[in-house]
């Protein structure tokens, strides 16, 4: 494991004429978890949307493993090894659990491995296996979380982008999710960039904390430092 | 809800109008002055132009009623209607039946035409109210589908009830000649233009006033945001029905005038194509602007004429020429509609306003 | 009683065609939230292709195949060359553009083929067979049932059993999420248009020989009828479209058999008006379709 899987250089983006991101720089080393934290409106979701190509950057570079991602259509991103679990998790309510999961691996040529990956997901998230035929909108919040993560993981991504995985979930489920991310990092070398308002949970699992404010990265530091240095935490996170 | 709306003091509305510098003249008076000016122009033109052009101008006037009505409905109130051809048919047939009834009783004086026109408008108001009440409950594709059904089915009814409407043959419209006071050699087409222009100008003045009135503002509020309009105390369904009825009445008058001009009515003239033509004229002219309706009405008359001249340039077999002549305007209308919707949803009038703004920006008035 | 049986079977045969055409409308509505008002004109265009191919080769079946192919292609072209460019923020825009297409297609057909009814051949006899002295179905009716049955089965198979069907459904329900999962949403939309237009062309091929023949306006009333069927079904529901189509076919057959064929247009309008006023969401709507 060496080098940075994701490098963002002087990235700027916005909606129409309204700029949201200014001059964003960040690096996520391979096999680590980075947590982007900051208040509402800091540009966290916009950053993720720009990384996955849903929003076109006005300037700057996004490098995945040293290769520029700009110009890659959104639908090609999974083929480069990037999985994005969007805001609100994006479970398709009209499709069954099984269909949602299959959708995550449809792009893969290796059908045999895709089938294996599907079985692995059912092992990882046992509750989903019992609800294969249920529609997405019949699931509980925790089950949706599993489905969204499972659907992202079934494509065996290198980089996982997560938008507010803790939103609307019970603390127990949040803790399970974070534990799972840590396990995936340690066991499979998965790289994770997650955006969170729940700073404590995010920093508990992350290797690196990236603080955003008003569309800029104001601090990127080892998560342990942010956790332990009360002055720093107070200055940037307000608690 | 309606109480809130009714209590909006008229004084305030007037104040809003008068804040526009240089336009302190009451709206009605201003519209009447413009109408009188146009009437004089038409009068002068009717003596300058030959009979055929007089007839064409009269046809423009007839279409203008319908396109202006549709502009109020679609452009101002945001309701789509594909059924205005059928509403024109209603007006035309009502006029034909009334004129025939008068003729059967020996009432052939020219003045009875005014009564017939009023009957035609009334009949369309009734039909428009029925469709409008249904339409006010519908949105988007449902409304389009219903009005499309009206456009397809109503002309077919003339065959279903051929005892009254005489099927595909249609009905003749007996017309009194121009008054003898105007002279023996007074061209019939000039007289037709006078009738059509007078009726259309009256219709336009009423519509223009409506657009500037409390109702017009309600129309626009409903178009822009139904929920907000409701919160502002506007009775959305009633507003939509009113818009539909007003629009139908204008279309009915237009249809009746067409019947007066052609001196006959038949279902073939009022098919789905006419409804689509009207919509197209309104869209190309510029949705939501009465001036756009004028452009649209001119297009409806001029374009077939142009394609006629165009096909005459080529030597074609009579059958091929006929096919081309009948269909080329449709093809041009259709492709124009598509191109305008994609490239310039504001229509001709929108383009002109944008151009005017651009020119003003480049050469600001009053810059030393 | 015999007459009732005959009208019922005839109505179901008619209804099968409306069902197929309504299904085509529902497919596009689900894929892109557009009611394709040009569906009728597009189907007529495909029928003219069949007319030309059959006239040139003498084979009905070559013409039939050509019509299906033309339908598929026309659907894809309309999506890529026209609908994709339209600003969909106002729901009026795609409707108006579709109507422009109606004018354009009908005009081009009129220029090429003329505005007369051209004879449309039926591949099987349209004379009803008699069973025990009662007139029941014609061989052509059986052909209609079989064809529509195959189409419905094929659509069900595509959408529920194949990967491409899963992609199409996902793209329709959640375009943005689907793109993140690697689905080519634009491609799925085009495919949806092609499929729907192909089904529409097939319905046109089935209905035109039972009416006056091929004519630029041959599908106008069929379109309105099928739209009514689709609305009864709820616009969103393919099974609803099939049931709605069969129901409308039956009703029109009874109206025409007991009250007179002239009344069919009026019956369609009355039915549409009633349904829209009483149950605008349709009888089978999965989600409420119309709310501010």
Chain C residue with CA closest to B338: the answer is C97
Q: What's the 3-state SS for chain B?
A: CHHHHHCCCHHHHHHHHHCCCCCCCCHHHHHHHHHHHHHHHHHHHHHHCCHHHHHHHHHHHHHHHHHHHHHHHHHHHCCCCCCHHHHHHHHHHHHHHHHHHHHHCCCCCCCHHHHHHHHHHHHHHHHHHHHHHHHCCCCHHHHHHHHHHHHHHHHHHHHHCHHHHCHHHCEECCCCCCCHHHCCCCCHHHHHHHHHHHHHHHHHHHHHHHHHCHHHHHHHHHHHCHHHHHHCCCCHHHHHHHHHHHHHHHHHHHHHHHHHHHCEECHHHHCHHHHHHHHHHHHHHCCCCHHHHHHHHHHHHHHHHHHHHHHHHCCCCHHHHHHHHHHHHHHHHHHHHHHHHHHCCCHHHHHHHHHHHHHHHHCCCCCC
Q: Is A106 on the interface with C (CB under 8 A)?
A: yes
Contacts of C182 in chain A (CB under 8 A): 75-79, 106-107, 155
Q: Are C266 and B157 in contact (CB < 8 Å)?
A: yes
Q: pLDDT higher for C143 or C136? A: C143
The whole-model pTM stands at: 0.84
Write down which residue in A129, A156, A183 finishes a domain: A156
Residues A179 and A142 in one domain: no
Q: Is residue B1 scored above 50 in pLDDT?
A: no
Residues A148 and A171 in one domain: no
Interface A:C, Cβ pairs < 8 A: 64
Residues A233 and A192 in one domain: yes
Q: Are C173 and A93 in contact (CB < 8 Å)?
A: yes
- pLDDT 10s digits, A182-211: 999 999 999 999 998 888 888 889 999 999
Residues A161 and A237 in one domain: yes
Q: Tell which C residues from 62 to 91 touch B, by Cβ distance under 8 Å.
A: 82, 85-87, 91
Residues A115 and A221 in one domain: no
- pLDDT 10s digits, A88-143: 888 999 999 999 999 999 888 888 999 999 999 999 999 999 999 999 999 988 89
Write down which residue in A101, A121, A156 finishes a domain: A156
Decide: B and A in contact? Rule: 3+ Cβ pairs under 8 Å.
no
- pLDDT 10s digits, A63-102: 998 888 888 888 898 999 999 998 888 899 999 999 999 9
Q: Is residue C185 scored above 80 in pLDDT?
A: yes
Split at pLDDT 50, 70, 90, the class of B11 is very low
Contacts of C97 in chain B (CB under 8 A): 337-338, 341-342
Write down which residue in A133, A156, A179 finishes a domain: A156
Chain C residue with CA closest to A53: the answer is C180
How confident is the model at residue B360, as a pLDDT?
Answer: 66
Q: Which chains share 3+ C-beta pairs under 8 angstroms with C? A: A, B
- pLDDT 10s digits, C21-80: 999 999 999 888 889 999 999 999 999 999 999 999 999 999 999 999 999 999 999 999
Residues A170 and A231 in one domain: yes
Indicate which CATH number applies to the domain containing A68.
Answer: 3.40.50.300
Q: pLDDT higher for B110 or C204? A: C204
How many structural domains comprise chain A? 2
Residues A27 and A94 in one domain: no
Chain C residue with CA closest to B336: the answer is C100
Residues A218 and A180 in one domain: yes
Chain B residue with CA closest to C261: the answer is B160
Which domain, by its residues, includes A34? 1-81+157-239
How confident is the model at residue A208, as a pLDDT?
Answer: 94
Residues A163 and A152 in one domain: no
Residues A25 and A66 in one domain: yes
Q: Compute how many other C-beta atoms are within 10 angstroms of the C-beta atom of residue A111.
A: 11
User: Which residue, among C161, C171, C177, C180, would best test binding to A if mutated, counting the most A CBs under 10 Å from its CB?
Assistant: C180
Please give the average per-residue pLDDT across C232-255, as a whole number.
91
ipTM of the complex model: 0.89
Domains of chain C: residue spans and CATH: 2-278 (1.10.3470)
Residues A24 and A67 in one domain: yes
Distance (Å) from the alpha carbon of A76 to chain C's nearest alpha carbon: 6
Residues A139 and A102 in one domain: yes
């Amino acid at each position: 494991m060496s080098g940075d899987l994701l490098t963002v250089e002087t990235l700027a983006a916005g909606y129409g004429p309204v700029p949201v991101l200014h001059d964003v720089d960040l690096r996520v080393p391979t096999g680590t978890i980075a947590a982007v934290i900051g208040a509402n409106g800091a540009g966290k979701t916009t950053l993720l949307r720009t990384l996955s190509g849903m929003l076109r950057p006005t300037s700057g570079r996004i490098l995945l493993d040293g290769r520029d991602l700009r110009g890659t259509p959104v639908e090609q991103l999974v083929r480069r090894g990037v999985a994005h679990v969007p805001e609100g998790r994006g479970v398709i309510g009209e499709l069954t659990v099984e269909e949602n999961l299959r959708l995550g691996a449809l792009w893969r040529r290796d059908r045999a491995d895709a089938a294996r990956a599907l079985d692995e997901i059912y092992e990882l998230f046992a509750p989903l296996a019992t609800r294969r035929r249920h529609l997405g909108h019949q699931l509980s919040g925790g089950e949706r979380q599993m489905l969204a993560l499972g659907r992202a993981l079934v494509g065996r991504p290198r980089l996982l982008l997560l938008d507010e995985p803790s939103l609307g979930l019970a603390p127990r489920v949040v803790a399970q999710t974070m534990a799972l991310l840590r396990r995936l990092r340690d066991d499979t070398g998965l790289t994770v960039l997650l955006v969170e308002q729940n700073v404590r949970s995010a920093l508990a699992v992350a290797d690196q904390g990236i603080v955003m404010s008003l569309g800029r990265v104001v601090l990127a530091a080892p998560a342990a430092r942010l956790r332990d240095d009360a002055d720093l935490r107070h200055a940037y996170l307000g608690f | 809800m309606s109480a809130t709306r009714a209590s909006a003091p008229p004084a305030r509305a007037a104040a809003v109008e008068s804040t526009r510098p240089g336009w302190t003249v009451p709206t009605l008076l201003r519209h009447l002055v413009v109408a009188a000016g146009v009437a004089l122009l038409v009068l002068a033109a009717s003596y300058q132009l030959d009979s055929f052009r007089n007839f064409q101008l009269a046809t423009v006037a007839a279409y203008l009623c319908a396109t202006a009505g549709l502009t109020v409905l679609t452009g101002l109130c945001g309701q789509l209607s594909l059924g205005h051809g059928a509403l024109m048919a209603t007006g035309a047939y009502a006029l034909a039946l009334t004129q025939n009834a008068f003729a059967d009783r020996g009432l052939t004086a020219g003045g009875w035409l005014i009564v017939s026109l009023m009957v035609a408008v009334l009949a369309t108001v009734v039909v428009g109210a029925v469709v409008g009440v249904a339409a006010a409950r519908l949105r988007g594709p449902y409304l389009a589908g219903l009005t499309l059904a009206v456009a397809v089915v109503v002309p077919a009814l003339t065959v279903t009830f051929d005892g009254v409407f005489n099927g595909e043959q249609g009905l003749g419209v007996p017309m009194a000649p121009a008054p003898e006071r105007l002279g023996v050699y007074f061209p019939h087409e000039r007289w037709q233009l006078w009738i059509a222009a007078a009726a259309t100008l009256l219709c336009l003045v009423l519509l223009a006033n409506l657009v500037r009135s409390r109702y017009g503002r309600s129309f626009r509020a409903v178009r822009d945001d139904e929920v907000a309009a409701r919160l502002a105390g506007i009775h959305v369904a009633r507003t939509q029905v009113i818009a539909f009825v007003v629009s139908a009445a204008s279309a009915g008058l237009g249809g009746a005038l067409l019947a007066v001009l052609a001196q006959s009515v038949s279902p073939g003239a009022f098919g789905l194509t006419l409804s689509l033509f009207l919509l197209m004229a309104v869209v190309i002219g510029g949705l939501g602007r009465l001036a756009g309706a004028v452009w649209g009405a001119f297009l409806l008359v001029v374009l077939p004429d142009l394609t006629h001249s165009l096909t005459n340039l080529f030597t074609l077999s009579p059958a091929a020429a006929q096919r081309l002549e009948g269909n080329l305007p449709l093809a041009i209308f259709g492709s124009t509609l598509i191109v305008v919707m994609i490239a310039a949803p504001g229509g001709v009038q929108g383009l002109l306003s944008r151009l005017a703004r651009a020119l003003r920006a480049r050469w600001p008035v009053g810059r030393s | 009683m015999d007459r009732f049986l005959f009208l019922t079977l005839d109505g179901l045969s008619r209804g099968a065609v409306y069902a197929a055409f309504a299904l085509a409308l529902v497919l596009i509505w689900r894929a892109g939230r557009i009611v394709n008002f040009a569906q009728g004109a597009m189907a007529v265009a495909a029928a003219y292709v069949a007319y030309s191919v059959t006239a040139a080769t003498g084979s009905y079946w070559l013409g039939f195949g050509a019509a299906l192919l033309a339908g598929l292609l026309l659907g894809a072209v309309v999506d890529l060359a026209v609908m994709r460019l339209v600003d969909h923020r106002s729901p009026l825009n795609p409707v108006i553009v579709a109507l422009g297409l109606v004018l354009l297609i009908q005009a081009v057909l009129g220029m090429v083929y003329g505005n007369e009814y051209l004879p449309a051949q039926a591949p099987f006899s349209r004379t009803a067979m008699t069973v025990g002295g009662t007139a029941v179905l014609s061989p052509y009716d059986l052909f209609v049932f079989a064809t529509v049955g195959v189409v419905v089965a094929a659509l069900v198979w595509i959408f529920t059993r194949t990967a491409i069907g899963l992609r199409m459904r996902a793209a329709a329900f959640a375009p943005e999420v689907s793109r993140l999962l690697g689905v080519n949403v634009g491609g799925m939309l085009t495919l949806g248009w092609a499929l729907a237009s192909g089904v529409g062309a097939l319905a046109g091929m089935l209905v035109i020989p039972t009416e006056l023949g091929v004519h630029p306006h041959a599908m106008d009333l069929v379109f309105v009828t099928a739209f009514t069927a689709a609305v009864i079904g709820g616009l969103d529901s393919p099974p609803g479209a099939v049931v709605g189509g069969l129901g409308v076919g039956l009703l029109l057959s009874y109206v025409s058999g007991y009250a007179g064929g002239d009344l069919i247009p009026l019956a369609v309008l009355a039915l549409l008006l009633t349904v829209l006023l009483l149950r605008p969401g349709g009888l089978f709507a999965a989600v409420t379709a119309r709310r501010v």
